[in-house]
Amino acid sequence: MLKNTAEQPVADKLLKSFLAISLSLTFLLLSIGVSNAEIMEVAREDRGRTIYLRPEIHWPPGTGPFGVVIVVNSSAGPKDAFLTVSIEPLTKAGIAVATLDTFTPRDVQATAVNQKLVSSTQMALDALFVAEALRRNSRVRPDKIALQGQSKGGVTALHAATEGWRQFVRTTKQPFDATIAMAPSCELQFRDPMLVSPLFALMGEKDDNTLPGPCVKLFERMKSAGQPVVWEVVEGANHAWSTYGSYLSPNLFSIRNCADEPYYYTRKGFESSLTGQVIAFRQIFSRCGARGYMIGGSHDKRPYVLERAVKWLKGMGW
């Protein structure tokens, strides 16, 4: 039987369209099956207005209850890679993940150029409100809720772990059961070395944004006071957890100019750890601020950092 050559191109197009639709539908169904995530909404008052936090919870296989890690964003806001790359290694280890974008509810996209837009204190309080809501979920182990953050999120986790910060903000909310600070900045810290939750910190040896030196000295001070802190400086890694391929981004903001003279939080302002001089809160950015640091690159140390975080959590009973 001869084919109608005029109709064949039309048939080919229809077949291709059908296959494309089938492939898209298959991918969608697979994605739904793999995602296993849900959105929760947590309202809280922040500086005179109500904001609505919408953490996305990714559950491991099974019914639970599970330990949970709240992963808070960095200065990159919703584009922070750790909000995505943290999910798989944690859920594979049987740990639930609640990714928390603290910027979008405040109509902020990023703070890498202007860190005044959202403070680490606001972010830490956000995470405490989310933890409080998670403890009411029957699929969650209420005694196993951790906070993890990278860079600005690392500062958030570090502060939330300290007694000094809790007293400074006068919060009575239940502390996290563990905290993981990745590439935190320690130029601004609390005099009191006491911790309210175990702390694990990871820093890059070549980080020229959040330099490891001030943090190592702070953690040594905590350790000397008998506090549950463990830290590691990752050889060759910069702020992006890369050992090669990075480039200089000249406008990004850092407070590394105070790396040799950390400042303590006080009610009246920031107090120099060397001279005792107190400067106003608004002066700290001009006193310590610097522009430009290395970003991007291979991110070749990122899997190692995540692996170390998971291992530490499992050792803590997650």
pLDDT, tens digit, for every residue of 64-95? 999 999 999 999 999 999 999 999 999 999 99
* DSSP β-bridge partners for residue 246: none
The residue behind tokens 């499992």 is 314
The residue behind tokens 């939080």 is 265
Task: Quote the pTM value.
Answer: 0.88
* DSSP β-bridge partners for residue 188: 263
Number of residues that make up the chain = 318
Alpha-carbon gap, residue 183 to 180, rounded angstroms: 10
* Domains in the chain: ranges and CATH: 37-244+298-315 (3.40.50.1820)
Helix residue ranges, H only, 195-240: 212-224
Mean pLDDT within 210-227: 98
Is residue 4 predicted with pLDDT exceeding 60?
no
Is residue 245 predicted with pLDDT exceeding 70?
yes
Question: Residue 226 — left, alpha, or beta (φ > 0 → left; ψ -120 to 50 → alpha)?
Answer: left
Alpha-carbon gap, residue 180 to 232, rounded angstroms: 12
Sequence-distant (6+) residues with CB within 8 A of 180 are 69, 146, 147, 148, 149, 157, 199, 200, 201, 202, 309, 312, 313
Is residue 14 predicted with pLDDT exceeding 50?
no
* DSSP β-bridge partners for residue 42: 53
Sequence-distant (6+) residues with CB within 8 A of 204 are 183, 212, 233, 234, 236, 237, 238, 239, 241, 301
Please count the other Cβ atoms lying within 10 Å of the Cβ belonging to residue 44. 17
Mean pLDDT within 154-169: 98
pLDDT of residue 7: 40
- pLDDT band at residue 30 under the 50/70/90 scheme: very low
* DSSP β-bridge partners for residue 299: none
pLDDT of residue 37: 84
pLDDT of residue 162: 98
